[in-house]
Chains A and B, each alone.
Chain A
Amino acid sequence: MAVKNFVVGLFDEEAVLFPAVKKVRTAGYKLHDVYTPFPIHGLDHAMGLRETSLHTAGFIYGITGTTTALSFMSWVFNVDWPLNIGGKPHFPLPAFIPITFELTVLFAAVGMVMTFCYLCQVMPGVKKHIFHPGQTDDKFVMVIELTEKTNAEEVKSFLASAGAHGINEQKAEAGWWFGRFDKDDEPYLRKVHTANA
Chain B
Amino acid sequence: MHLKYESTLREPLVDGVKDYHQVTEDIISPIEGKPGKLWYVGFFISLALLGFGAFSVFWQIYFGVGVWNLNKTVGWGWDITNFVWWVGIGHAGTLISAILLLFRQGWRTGVNRAAEAMTIFAVMCAGQFPIIHMGRVWMAFFILPYPNTRGPVWVNFNSPLLWDVFAISTYFTVSLLFWYSGLLPDFASVRDRAKTKLRKLLYGVASFGWTGSTKHWQRHEALSLVLAGLATPLVLSVHTIVSFDFATSVIPGWHTTIFPPYFVAGAIFSGFAMVQTLLIITRKIVHLEEYITVGHMEAMNKVIVLTGSVVGCAYLTELFMAWYGANPYEFATFFKYRAAGPLGWSYYIMMTCNVVTPQVFWFRKMRRSVAVTFVMSIIVNIGMWFERFVIICTSLYRDYLPSSWSYYRPSWPEVGFYLGTFGLFFTCYFLFAKYFPVIALAEIKAILKTSGQNYKEKMEVYEEEPAEKFAHDVAHSH
Contacts and interface: CB of A to CB of B under 8 A. Distances in A.
Given A38-B442, A95-B157, A112-B227, A52 B212 contact: no
B26 interface: no
A137 B29 CA distance: 13
A15 B1 contact: yes
Interface string A1-38: 00000000000001100100000000000000111111
Given A38-B446, A116-B219, A128-B209, A138 B173 contact: no
Interface stretch (A75-83, A148-156, A186-194): A75-83
A70 to B, nearest CB: 10
B174 A109 contact: yes
Nearest to B154: A76
B237 A101 contact: yes
A77 B153 CA distance: 10
B21 A137 contact: yes
Interface stretch (B193-201, B280-288, B299-307, B452-460): B193-201
Contacts of B201: 180-182
A30 to B, nearest CB: 15
Given A37-B212, A181-B204, A119 B221 contact: no
B184 interface: yes
Contacts of B162: 99
A160 interface: no
B2 interface: yes
Which of A35, A37, A62, A101 has its CB near the most chain B CB atoms (within 10 A)?
A37
Contacts of A40: 214, 217, 446
A39 B217 contact: yes
B244 interface: yes
Interface string B175-199: 0011001001100110111000110
B52 interface: no
Does more than half of chain B's interface fall in helix, strand or loop, or is it mixed? helix
B220 interface: yes
A85 interface: yes
Nearest to B156: A85
A189 B157 CA distance: 54
B323 interface: no
- Classify chain B: how many residues form its interface, as a range: 35 or more
A127 B204 contact: yes
B205 A125 contact: yes
Given A102-B170, A112-B223, A137-B193, A76 B157 contact: yes
A133 interface: yes
A88 B159 CA distance: 12
Interface in B214-233: 214-223, 226-227, 230-231, 233
Given A15-B2, A109-B174, A133-B192, A52 B442 contact: no
Contacts of A176: 209
B320 interface: no
B71 to A, nearest CB: 26
B20 interface: yes
Contact of A98 (B166, B185, B203): B166
B337 interface: no
Contact of B209 (A36, A73, A77, A127): A127
Interface in A145-190: 176, 180-182
Contacts of B214: 33-36, 40, 43-44, 47, 49
A98 B163 contact: yes
B208 A117 contact: yes
Interface in B418-441: 441
Given A36-B214, A109-B231, A130-B211, 10 more contacts: A39-B442, A54-B219, A99-B163, A109-B227, A112-B226, A116-B223, A120-B213, A136-B189, A182-B197, A182-B204
25 contacts: A14-B449, A33-B213, A37-B24, A49-B218, A52-B215, A52-B218, A72-B145, A73-B157, A95-B157, A98-B241, A99-B163, A102-B170, A102-B234, A108-B230, A109-B230, A109-B231, A110-B173, A116-B181, A120-B213, A127-B204, A127-B209, A133-B193, A136-B193, A138-B21, A182-B197
Interface of B: 1-4, 19-21, 24, 145, 151-154, 156-158, 160, 162-163, 166-167, 170, 173-174, 177-178, 181, 184-185, 188-189, 191-193, 197-198, 200-201, 203-206, 208-223, 226-227, 230-231, 233-234, 237, 241, 244, 441-443, 445-446, 449
